[in-house]
Structure 1
Amino acid sequence: MEELHTGYELSTTGLVCRDLRGELLVLKTIIHNNVSSPFATEAYACLEGTKLRISLGVQSIKLMGDSKTIIKKCQTILTDKSVIGAIIRDIQNKKSCFQEIIFQHIHRAVNSQAHRLAKDVLDSGETSYLMGEELNRHSFASERRWPRNPD
């Protein structure tokens, strides 16, 4: 997941959903209006990633993002009292929908596909949800395997 924040008016999220083998399942982009900060946009990206996995019926997930702050807030069970606390609580409330949920920080360079999606939606102004045949025709079709991170 990746977010781009352009100020108080507009921000975007790009989600790249893969299965356990690294195969590309879904690409989704979202435009957010009136989001107050980059942290809020990152938190919304994490929430949208969680909701996407729920809609796909996935029981075990790993959400990866490049904001250490948001990942740490999602990992904790403590109540977050910051400005983005309500978004973090929404994410934490959805944890019970999964058998296993892991929040992992990744470096921005590893998050390049999601970043490119977020930038594309910012440029085009159109959200998207691609899977199946539509996904095969997308420019990411040649990049179907996720580069494995060493654990």
Structure 2
Amino acid sequence: MMIWRISWNFIPSFCNLKIKRVVVNTQCPRCDCEEENSYHIFQQCPTVIEVWSKLNMSWVLNQSNKNIWSWLTGIFGQGNDEQLRIFCCGLWFIWFNRNQLVYEKKKVSGTEIARKVRRYILELEATKEDKLTLHSSDKCHQVFKRGRATVHFDAAFDLHHSNIEDPFTAEAYAGLQAVKLGISLGINILEVMGDSKTVIKKCQSSSIDRSVIGAIIRDIQSKKRRYQKVEFSFIPKVNNIYAHTIATEALKSGESFYLERGIPELVQNALERRNLGEERLWQRPPD
């Protein structure tokens, strides 16, 4: 799917977003030297040139072509299976780390991106070997049996002290973090619940999202394949009180934490203050 989007120039580069009147500035967030279009993202940016060099794939730049379709078909016609696997993973990680820079302000060198590509391919090979071993010992039914979980998410937004532009984007980013959390915990069947109907509907949809949060939604969609099953469900804010309180308190304290099998003291105190305030409100005599 990633290669397909690149080949049709469907990725939300800044040049494409400018056409949609989503952004004004089209400079590359990595080098800030040229406009960020598909050609620059995957062929021309100094960081990307470093990636291909460290992967021993500099030859892909010899087929430099501003027509991205011609560039891809030329490489697929020339490379062997191993090279094409590295190439596809390289494209994926280059785009993923570009989004990390844009949305999380995490700048990664080309050398580190190349290292992650190599590590990911090794993990794929190890996973394949594990599956074969389990199958040969008649235990294939144990593959992908690490359990299920439900993750609630919510976002709190500070207009004056945030790298995120609006509450809508903050909610989408919180949903992405919920999906990442499930992966880090080794969950295979995941239900993600949030109180933003719009974000949940976009996560449920299989169509390409072209809104301002499209890149985040696509990151969420790309991580679905890490699970056996993922469901996104809407929950009213009144029933999402723990996630809401955690988000609010985290924003106040500048800390990052989540709720698992217990309630952090900070959140418990906030809930008690909230309940006390509601009791006083109901006890107040009418005017």
Q: Which amino acid aligns with 1:4?
A: A
Stretch deviating more after TM superposition (118-127 or 75-84): 118-127
Runs of 4+ in 1 over 6 A off after TM superposition: none
1:116 is displaced (CA, Å) by 0.7
**CA shift digits 1:30-73 (9 cap, x unpaired):** xxxx1011111010011000000001110001000000000000
Conserved? CA contact 1:75–1:103, under 8 Å: yes
Q: Secondary structure at the match of 2:193?
A: strand
**CA shift digits 1:81-136 (9 cap, x unpaired):** 011000000000001111110000000001100111111112212223576xxx65
Q: Determine the structure 1 residue equivalent to 2:256.
A: 127
Structure number with the bigger relative contact order (C-alpha 8 A, sep ≥ 6) is 1
Q: Secondary structure at the match of 1:3?
A: coil
Conserved? CA contact 1:60–1:100, under 8 Å: yes
Q: Determine the structure 2 residue equivalent to 1:101.
A: 230
- Size of the aligned set, in residue pairs, is 115
Structure number with greater Rg is 2
Q: Determine the structure 2 residue equivalent to 1:22.
A: none
Q: Output the CA distance in 2 between the equivalents of 1:88 and 1:137.
A: 29
Q: Determine the structure 1 residue equivalent to 2:189.
A: 60
Q: Output the CA distance in 2 between the equivalents of 1:66 and 1:104.
A: 9
Q: Which amino acid aligns with 1:138?
A: P
Q: Which runs of 5+ in 1 are unaligned?
A: 11-33, 142-151
Q: Output the CA distance in 2 between the equivalents of 1:119 and 1:46.
A: 16
Q: Determine the structure 2 residue equivalent to 1:31.
A: none
Q: Determine the structure 2 residue equivalent to 1:9.
A: 161
Alignment of 1:64-103 (within 5 A): 64-103=193-232
Return the structure number with greater helix share. Answer: 2
Q: Output the CA distance in 2 between the equivalents of 1:109 and 1:129.
A: 18
1:137 is displaced (CA, Å) by 7.5
Q: Secondary structure at the match of 1:102?
A: strand
Conserved? CA contact 1:4–1:41, under 8 Å: yes
Q: Secondary structure at the match of 2:225?
A: helix
Q: Which runs of 5+ in 2 are unaligned?
A: 1-152, 269-287
Q: Output the CA distance in 1 between the equivalents of 2:258 and 2:239.
A: 22
Return the structure number with greater strand share. Answer: 1
Conserved? CA contact 2:194–2:233, under 8 Å: yes
Conserved? CA contact 2:246–2:258, under 8 Å: no
Q: Which residue of the other structure, out of 170, 187, 200, is the alignment partner of 1:41?
A: 170
Q: Determine the structure 2 residue equivalent to 1:138.
A: 264
